[in-house]
Amino acid sequence: MYNVNKRKLFNWSPPRILVTGFALIILLGGLLLSLPISNTDGHYLRYLDAVFTATSATCVTGLVVVDTGTQFTTFGQIVLISLIQIGGLGFMTMATLIALVLRKRISLKERLILQEAMNQTNMEGIVRLIRKVIVYSLAIEATGALLFASRFAFDMPIGRAIYFGIWHSISMFNNAGFDLFGGFRSLTMYVGDPVVNITAMGLIILGGLGFVVMSDLIEYRKNKKLSLHSKIVLTMTSALLIVGTIIIFIFEFSNKQTLGSLDWDAKIWAAMFQSVTPRTAGANTIDIGVMRHATIFFMVILMFIGASPGSTGGGIKTTTFTTLIGAVIAMIRGKEDIVLFKYRLARERIFKALTITMLSLVLVIAVTMLLSATEDREFLRLLFEATSAFGTVGLSTGITPSLSDFGKIILCFTMFAGRLGPLTLAYALGPKAEKDLYRYPEGKIIIG
């Protein structure tokens, strides 16, 4: 019986193993966060709230139902930041790190799972990529921790500043958005601070670019070229950040509750930061809940697009969005192929982009409808919450802690689906794909 069960487990597909692995980490994390040793009041935290927090951390989202800075002890905060690191880099990446340290061989099955986890098209060089992921991540997080600690040292004792620096660097780089400042304030007290803004935005952007792109950039001096993937990611990321900054600045310029009361420097910093953070980061320097409806809806669009493949962020991804734009332009021009940077995209890439977008759209719509039926809140705020959970962003208009138990469970599932990706989840839960032995005759329908 044991051998039969072991054989069935070994035959699981990589998506199913990823889904199960993340689920087990969340359940274990929820158990640890619920213990009295993790909570400052010395009592058990309600398990649903603990699981919600563990899901938000493992899925690097940042939505919270309890105040992280005041609810959890140092032990609880360490559990939380560990979940963020595991969730951001992926539990298979962490398992590979342990295997490399112990000098164990990475099996073919493990390489397939790593390929799925890193969203790569083939296994070639996957272990080498994982080594780069670990080295780059630790180096970037260490730099961010040093910069944060240097700034925080002016506001708190040096030991606490170092701890806060390390903790927030990991949180920002992994696009989690959790903070320890208490009062659900995030980084609002540093709205015009250049050091905190530049450090946080740098960590968020680097974490959201993806490790393949970072590797390309680091090796550019040697290779003198960038891959098509890196060109698309860098171009679309830059465009979204610039457009986002301009639109948020215009929409909120006269809003006394957000940018209106700030000086010019702080206005620019705040507009830039709020343009960066919807790319799945979750931190904020102004109160999202008092923004104008136009700004909130625009941020919903940014959150839905999200970060880039193989990164610590969520959303449909910048490459998917670029492919859709390319398809629209090609159709308008009467072209058969989508051409980007003088490269033609394969049909399977286009179909995958359309599938991911439709599944994601259906998920966000379904979750928003369910929340609308159970929560007595404005529709736009519920849409914002649902999109934030799907995009593993973590931004909130302030309604998360007051959601019903059903609402919290729905958002837990949404964060889980958003982190793994709707397509991966569908592969994991659906039946094993079988190749068709025949093709039907082509039919014609009227479109448009």
| Contact partners, residue 188, CB within 8 Å, separation at least 6 | 284, 285, 286, 287
Contact 186, 177 (CB under 8 A): yes
Q: 31, 48 in Cβ contact below 8 A?
A: no
Amino acid letter at 275?
S
Query: From CA 432, how far away is CA 261, in angstroms rounded?
Result: 57
Return the closest-CA partner of residue 309 out of 60, 110, 120.
Answer: 120
C-alpha span between 106 and 97 (Å, rounded): 10
440 CB contacts (<8 Å, ≥6 apart)? none
- What is the helix (H) or strand (E) element at residue 339, kind and residue range? strand 339-340
As a dihedral over the C-alpha atoms of residue 61, residue 66, residue 69, residue 73, rounded to 10 degrees, the angle is: -110
Collapsed DSSP state (helix, strand, coil) of residue 344: strand
CB count, 10 Å around CB of 282? 30
Half-sphere exposure at residue 343, Cβ-oriented, CA atoms within 13 angstroms: 11
Q: What is the pLDDT of residue 106?
A: 59
Tens of each residue's pLDDT in the chain, 448 residues: 445 454 544 456 666 777 787 888 899 999 999 999 999 999 999 999 999 999 999 988 889 999 999 999 999 999 999 999 888 876 556 555 555 555 556 555 556 555 555 555 555 556 676 777 788 888 999 999 999 999 999 999 999 999 999 999 999 998 898 999 988 889 999 999 999 999 999 999 998 888 788 888 888 878 788 888 899 999 999 999 999 999 999 999 999 999 999 999 999 999 999 999 998 888 999 999 999 999 999 999 999 999 888 777 788 999 999 999 999 999 899 888 888 898 898 888 888 899 899 999 999 999 999 999 999 999 999 999 999 999 999 999 999 999 999 999 999 999 988 887 776 666 555 555 566 667 778 777 776 6
pLDDT of residue 9: 46
Report residue 26: phi and psi, to 5°.
Answer: -65, -45
Long-range contacts of 32-39 (CB under 8 A, 24+ apart): 32/76, 32/79, 33/72, 33/76, 33/79, 33/80, 37/73, 37/75, 37/76, 38/72, 38/73, 38/75, 38/76, 38/79, 39/71, 39/72, 39/73, 39/76
Residue with tokens 């809806």: 297
Return the beta strands (E) in 181-324 as ranges: none
**What integer pLDDT is reported at residue 125 of this predicted model?**
59
9 with 406: CB under 8 angstroms? Answer: no
Tokens of 140: 């970037």
How high is the pLDDT of residue 6? 47
Question: What are the strands, taking DSSP E only, across 229-325?
Answer: none
From 217, 294, 290, select the one nearest 248 (Cα to Cα): 294
Torsions phi, psi for 289 (to 5 deg): -65, -20
CA angle, 259 then 286 then 197, to 5°: 95
- Among residues 24, 61, 21, 17, the alpha carbon closest in space to that of 414 is found at 61
**Tokens standing for residue 52:** 């919600």
The amino acid at residue 302 is L
Q: What is the end-to-end Cα distance of the chain in Å, rounded?
A: 57
Structure tokens given for 426: 């569908």
What is the Cα gyration radius of the chain? 22
Q: Are 65 and 155 within 8 A, CB to CB?
A: no
Between CA 125 and CA 155 the distance in angstroms is: 45
**Alpha-carbon dihedral 203, 206, 208, 211, rounded to 10 degrees:** -130
Residue 431 pLDDT: 57
Separation between Cα atoms, residue 227 and residue 65, nearest integer Å: 41
**Whose structure tokens read 């002890």?**
73
List of residues 6+ apart from 397 with CB closer than 8 A: 288, 289, 296, 381, 384, 385
Tally the C-alpha atoms within 13 A of residue 50's C-alpha that lie toward its C-beta.
22
Spatial distance between the Cα atoms of 127 and 115, rounded to a whole number of angstroms = 9
